[in-house]
Structure 1
Amino acid sequence: MSESFNSMTGVAAALGIGMLVGFERERRKGQGESRASAGLRTFTISALLGYVAIKVGGALLLAIAAGGLALLVAVAYWRSQSKDPGLTSEVALITVLVLGALCSTEPRLAIALGVIVAGLLAYRQKLHDIALGQLTDGEIRDGLILLIAALVLLPLAPDRYIDPYTSINPHTIWTLTVLLLTLGAVGHIAVRILGTRYGYVISAIASGFASSTATIAAMGNFVASQPGNIRTLAAAGIFSNLATMAQVALILGAVDISLLRPIWIPLLCGAVATAIYGLCLMRSPRDGEVNDEPVKAEGAFSLKLALIVTLTMTGITFLSAVMLDQFGQAGVMITATLTGFADAHSSTASIAALAKSGQLPITAIVAPALIAVSSNSVSKCVVAWISGGRQFAMYVIPGQVLLTLAMWLGVLWS
């Protein structure tokens, strides 16, 4: 019964893929003698052929079917070569055959790939316009660098510690580098769509959930190409702290909702201070400064800067590990301070785990959690100076100091 159900699921998936792609091609094949050779019926039958071939004769029969289909496609292409020099429909037909075969083992994956193929076919003209008219050579170059870094180099990076203090992991280091490049690209896309005034801020808040420190570095990276928007960039970096506050609250609440009771006021005070300072930066430009300067779309990010920031953060992590090893576990406070330089979230999680297990009173989590966030603010100030220079750091540092003071003052009210 189960095998029969799986077979029907595979058939349905293959049928759905063939019809989905076939409908799109049918709309574009035209009519009369000049129409294309493949439409709804051809694509649907090809998908079912791939499924039946792999089920009946395995890989050998599938290869024979693919070879025969390729021959038919070549003949059809030769006959219509003078009218349509493209190979899109022909390649799509063979792809549908293979996806139909994939439905026998991985129907969900096959359906997902089928939707992607249909989307690429449906938005052909828009993709052509973007590639030919909207993307610069620098953006295409950076896109290739990001794909190589994420899909080629990252899987090859060894996932193990290479130092005696278990702090330097090549896979983690390169993951952070890819994250920085990705955040830069996300910010660049948001600005191209929304403009500098709001694009940077929105992308910074969203990217802050991945890494607020990396987001500040990405904003600093844009200073060189957008010097007239330095206050907006600094405001975006400051706004990324809202994600930090939210994540600390989410981590504590996920471990135990009662852990939020003693710390929600300090976190709220920090968030309010962050929002006020960020809005002041955005709404009070200096004389001669432009808040919506046209984007100079030369590239999406700086690989050199991403590597420098990654190495800086790795150095901070290594120094924290050395200090802990040399001076021992001198208490939760010291641990929170040192680990907070690299990541406030992991430190918060460890503090929450201690409180959940009863090793630390719930009321005692406030100080170490805020220390972790405070030390992380120091790292953000350093990263802001390295990535964006002195002027960018002069806008970011007061905001980091203000939100840190606001959190500690919030302790008096909680």
Structure 2
Amino acid sequence: MESLIAKLGLALAIGLLVGLERGWRERDAPDGARTAGIRTYAITGLLGGLTASLALSLEAPSLLIAGLFAFTAVFAWYKSREALHDADFSVTGVVAGMSVFMLGALAVTGDQRAAAAGGTALAVILASRDLLHGLVKRISWVELRAALVLAVMTAIILPLLPAQAVDPWGGFNPRQVWIFTVLTAAISYLGYIAVRVFGATRGVLVGGLAGAVVSSTAVTLALARTAAAGGNPWPLAGAATLAAAVSVLRVTGIVAIVAPSVLGVAGIAILAAVAVFAICGGLYLTRGNLAGTGDGSPRNPFELGPLLLFAVGFAVVSTISAAAASGHSAGMVATSAVSGVFDVDVAVLSALRLLGASADVEAVGHAVLIALATNAVGRLIVAAATGPVRFWLPLAGASALAGAAGAAAFAALPHFTWPGATPIL
């Protein structure tokens, strides 16, 4: 009895939560002018729970099905009358009522946590109407297509890929390669969408920081060209330095998601380097004005061509790293050093996936730091090749100081075990 009372209480709570949102949205309507408010949705959740309870007691699943159809018919009829009166063609209220009824039934017959989560999600979606409608109006077709591609790659392609390594060294696991490819692209895409939502036309600084979520090397190249065309080199170098800090933080986020235990080895050194990059970048920015220089709009990072190239490069580097790390970790570190010049994400993810297989946490931490260091060298090569000395020399100074601070922190401060951190590999 107590268990049933608790389940019915959850069904009632789900209806109250959804009804609170529905009632608040129509709070200015006079009494009797709306089909359903907080009380009706609360009773709907309880009704779903009671119907499911009777179906279980009588061992008659058809009773629950009949109850759902009867409720839907009555609710939809009243909603249709309200819609005719208000000239409203939305079916959201009917679907919400059906959902509350079924979630109430789930609270009694199934997983209570799933029912509670579903009710919360339903209320959040209903309350986010203005936000979601505004997002639909602002998003472009290219961005929508990118999101659909991400969904297809995650929900359709990923389950079809083999989950075992297909090479002798255990380096090329198609499913793992695809997971990390989608993860990296999704992080970049979310950064891009954030800039689109909050505005990316506030100058080179905002565009550079946002672009670093995609590629700090590309940002450095764009800023170097702007400096070569006559832009003030000091603040441009400051923007490039801050972009480097964002790039390191992005890689740190990937490490924290994939294998957080590595942060116990490399985390303090990374934080020291980021702090130096941030200080130097802030100082450089005070030496001039960024207004009117460059284009602050980052390109959509979730394009299919570059994404497939990333997957191929990741697969090749992963296989080479696994072969080189067979029996020792020096080969993995060397591979990370070389590949980090071209793509730090590929180098870092290739090292992380070897954790626990052919490399320990200490070796993987070394590989991550070396990949970040060689990627900084790659940025400097690009800056020196395309920008003036007054642009790349401050960037080189900040990179050298950041590298020295990271090395000192790595050597002087103790490494530690990240509590409860296990890789998702």
> Which residue does the alignment assign to 1:373?
369
| Partner in structure 2 of residue 54 of structure 1 | 52
Shift of 1:93: 0.4
Superposition RMSD in Å? 4.6
Q: Which residue of 2 aligns with 1:275?
A: 278
Q: Conserved in 1, the CA contact under 8 Å of 2:48 and 2:104? A: yes
CA distance in 2, matches of 1:7, 1:199: 56
Q: Which residue of 2 aligns with 1:119?
A: 124
**Deviation string for 1:295-342 (max 9, x for gaps)?**
47x8563222122123212211212223345xx53xx43444346753
Deviation at 1:65, TM superposition (A): 1.0
For the Cα contact (< 8 Å) 1:216–1:384, is it kept in 2?
Answer: no
Aligned to 2:247: 240
C-alpha separation in 2, matches of 1:383 and 1:12 = 59
* Superposition pairs of residues 174-193 of structure 1, within 5 angstroms: 174-192=178-196, 193=198
CA distance in 2, matches of 1:354, 1:181: 27
Change (3 A) 1:235 1:78: same
Structure 1 match to 2:416: none
Indicate conservation of the 8 Å contact 1:336/1:371, yes or no. Answer: yes
Gaps of 5+ in 1: 205-214, 356-364
Match of 2:307 in 1: 306
Q: Deviations over 1:243-301 (max 9, x none)?
A: 657969973675xxxx79xx96x65653444435554676678999636x5647x8563
Q: What is the percentage of aligned positions where both structures have the same residue?
A: 23
Change (3 A) 1:369 1:179: closer
Deviation at residue 57 of structure 1 after TM alignment = 0.9
- C-alpha contact (below 8 Å) 2:192/2:210 kept by paired residues: no
Q: Specify every segment of 5 or more residues in structure 2 that has no aligned partner in the other structure, as ranges.
A: 228-235, 340-346, 414-425
Distance, in Å, in 1 between the alignment partners of 2:76 and 2:98 is 11
Does residue 316 in structure 1 map to residue 317 in structure 2?
A: yes
Whole-angstrom distance in 2 between the partners of 1:234 and 1:305: 25
Asked if residue 333 in structure 1 is aligned to residue 330 in structure 2, the reply is yes
Distance, in Å, in 2 between the alignment partners of 1:52 and 1:391 is 72
Residue of structure 2 in register with 1:251 after alignment: 261
Following the alignment from structure 1 to structure 2, what is the Cα–Cα distance between the partners of residues 200 and 406? 24
Structure 2 letter corresponding to 1:308:
L
Distance 1:25 1:50, change over 3 A: same
Q: 1:71 to 1:13 in 2, by over 3 A?
A: same
TM (norm. structure 1) is 0.71
Offset of 1:91 from its aligned partner? 1.0
* Amino acid across the alignment from 1:21: V
Structure 1 position 290 matched with structure 2 position 286 = no
1:382/1:306 CA distance change after superposition, 3 Å: farther
Q: Is the 8 A contact 2:188 2:214 kept in 1?
A: no
Q: CA deviation at 1:94?
A: 0.4
Equivalent residue letter for 1:201: L
- In structure 2, the residue matched to 1:359 is none
Q: Which residue of the partner structure matches residue 74 of structure 1?
A: 76
Please give the alpha-carbon distance, in whole angstroms, between the structure 1 residues aligned to 2:34 and 2:68: 20
The residue correspondences of 1:17-166 to structure 2 (distance < 5 A) are 17-29=14-26, 31=29, 35-58=33-56, 59-82=61-84, 83-104=87-108, 105-132=110-137, 134-166=138-170
1:221/1:98 CA distance change after superposition, 3 Å: farther
**SS of residue matched to 1:112:** helix
- Give the aligned residue type for 2:128: Y
